[in-house]
């Protein structure tokens, strides 16, 4: 499981865009949660940190860190 801290989300549409982008990425098994208030996404899968960062940044958001 990975927790991705994301900057730039301001509404539920933002969380939906991030969820859709992550779900389409190879190596992401499940998107468990995208939290607007917590500013993070929680995923299961084997996608690399670089791939996760790239797909989120393509949507216009910034990845702060991945745990």
CA distance 49 to 59: 16
22, 28 in Cβ contact below 8 A?
Answer: yes
CA distance 16 to 29: 17
| Boundaries of domain holding 35 | 2-59
Q: Is residue 67 part of a domain?
A: no
**The overall pTM is greater than 0.85:** yes
pLDDT at 31: 98
Q: Is residue 65 part of a domain?
A: no
CATH number of the structural domain spanning residue 25 = 3.30.70.100
Q: Is residue 64 part of a domain?
A: no
Within 10 A of 16 (CB to CB), how many other CB atoms are there? 11
Q: Is residue 9 part of a domain?
A: yes
Give residue 8's pLDDT band: very low, low, confident or very high (50, 70, 90): very high
Q: Is residue 28 part of a domain?
A: yes
The structural domain count of the chain equals 1
């Amino acid at each position: 499981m990975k927790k991705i801290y994301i900057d730039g989300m301001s509404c539920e549409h933002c969380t939906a865009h991030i969820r859709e982008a992550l779900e389409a990425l190879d190596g992401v098994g499940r998107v468990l949660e995208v939290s607007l208030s917590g500013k993070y996404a929680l995923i299961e899968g084997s996608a690399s940190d670089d791939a996760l960062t790239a797909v989120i940044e393509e949507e216009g958001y910034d990845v702060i860190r991945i745990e």
